[in-house]
Amino acid sequence: MSTLTVAALQLALGSADEAENIARVSALVEEAAAKGAQVILPPELFSGPYFCTVEDEALFALARPTAEHPSVRAMQALAVGLGVAIPVSFFERDGHHYYNTMAMIGPDGAIMGTYRKSHIPDGPGYEEKYYFRPGNLGFKVWDLFGARLGVGICWDQWYPECARVMALMGAEVLFYPTAIGSEPYDAELDTSRMWRRAMQGHAVSNCMPVVAANRIGAEGAQRFYGHSFIADEWGDLVEHFGSEESGVLMRRLDLGRAAKHRAGMGFFRDRRPQLYGRIAEDI
């Protein structure tokens, strides 16, 4: 398939009622599917408020095994009913271990596999290392609708290595579910421009589209800034929201055109991996 229709969802997810948040996402998934979306991306950890602003051992109770998590089960039912694929971000419990995980749900409703977030932030307002182990599954790509998709999770999106590895694995589109907003240590710092530019850079340097979905709204002292977008293979924003809109971003991506440009730009032809050993060394 030389085209793929993708959607990114942006909405507020601050309700303490898990079922309410999942219902809000479900309504947007249905809207996107009705408009022709094939792959629909909700934001990161969408079943509730972003809980990593504090360190509270009681919050580990939010985690469930993959097949039991309400977000996964709800999106499975939607995927099979609508014939769409949904990368589902959730808090996973695997025995005594906890992960920030994405389950790829295929159009038959099956869990095609999981990816566990590789880069775990630790700072004011984003204290994820308290809750999540670093992912141990490696980067993943997924074959859907005749295309190969790569999915990273939030903090992964700041790392060009993550995007490049997925591209080298054959990814043709990169997806990033996200929860990012204000910085508690600096009220004047707005990272939304940097956030977009980092991923637009991945689109340019790998010559492939990028899709990012973020939440919006105030959750306690933190405000999430949205700015979800779809960028083409040149890094241009072909669809985007601001900081307040709630809804669905849609785009039919021309993957054949992107593949032609990717070959013509020569980024992969001219790579010199024998010179890059320093990248794989600890600082």
Q: Give me the active site residues, please.
A: 44, 117, 154
CB atoms within 10 A of CB 194: 10
Q: Number of C-alpha atoms within 13 angstroms, CB side, residue 278?
A: 3
CB atoms within 10 A of CB 81: 13
Residue with tokens 């900081």: 243
Q: Which two tokens stand for residue 217?
A: 């709204």
CA distance 110 to 107: 7
CA distance 50 to 53: 7
Q: How many residues does the chain have?
A: 283
Can you state the angle between helices 192-206 and 160-168, rounded to 10 degrees? 30
CA distance 28 to 10: 9
φ/ψ (deg, to 5) at 16: -75, -10
CA distance 2 to 146: 8
